[in-house]
Amino acid sequence: MFGLFKKKSELEKLQETYKSLLDKSYKLSHSNRAEADKVMAEAEEVAKKIDELKKKS
């Protein structure tokens, strides 16, 4: 309850984005492989940003 109004850090936001992109890619992989590959590439870019943030802290 006390964390209800806590703002999310940049790392938390990126991790959520990464997870949602992986989910979307998985779902697309069953119907549209080319689009799934594009979404997976986006997810990899987000993963690189996450790694950079972790190295800085």
CA–CA gap between residue 54 and residue 48 (Å, rounded): 10
pTM of the model: 0.85
**pLDDT per residue as tens digits for the range 1-45:** 566 778 889 999 999 999 999 999 999 999 999 999 999 999 999
User: Is 31 domain-assigned?
Assistant: yes
CA–CA gap between residue 9 and residue 15 (Å, rounded): 10
User: Is 41 domain-assigned?
Assistant: yes
Residue 8 is predicted with a pLDDT of 85
Q: Which residues contact 36 (CB under 8 A, 6 or more apart)?
A: 25, 26, 28, 29
- For residue 9, count CB atoms less than 10 angstroms from its CB and return exposed for 0-12, middle for 13-18, buried for 19 or more: exposed
Residue 7 is predicted with a pLDDT of 85
**What sign results for the dihedral spanned by CA atoms 11, 17, 20, 22?**
negative
User: Is 18 domain-assigned?
Assistant: yes
User: Is 2 domain-assigned?
Assistant: no
Domain range for 15 is: 10-56
